[in-house]
Amino acid sequence: MTELFNFHDSWFVVQFHWVWMLVALGLGIWVGWYKAVDRQG
């Protein structure tokens, strides 16, 4: 269990898979933009 939640050197994952991180960020921005609809009341 301790091994499973050991995230030492996890930054390496981000550096290696930076393209996917960019995709996730772009998708997140897109979703955030379209979900942030101001409701009237």
Partner 1 sequence: MNHYILELALWMLAIFLLGCVIGAIARRLFGSEARPEPVSEPEEPPTPAEILPVAAAAIAAAPLEAAVESTLRMERPRGVSGPRDGKPDDLQRISGVGPKNEKILHTLGFFHFEQIAAWSGEHIAWVDDHLKFNGRVVREEWVEQARLLASGAEAEFEERFGAKKN
Per CB under 8 A, residues contacting partner 1 are 3-4, 6-7, 10, 13-14, 17, 20-21, 24-36, 38-41
**Smallest distance, partner 1 to C-beta of residue 13, A:** 5
Q: In whole angstroms, how close is the CB of 19 to partner 1 at the nearest point?
A: 11
Contacts of range 11-17, beta carbons closer than 8 Å, 24 or more positions apart: none
Which residues have CB under 8 Å from 21's CB, separation 6+? 14
Please, what is the minimum distance in Å from the beta carbon of residue 40 to partner 1?
5
DSSP 37: P
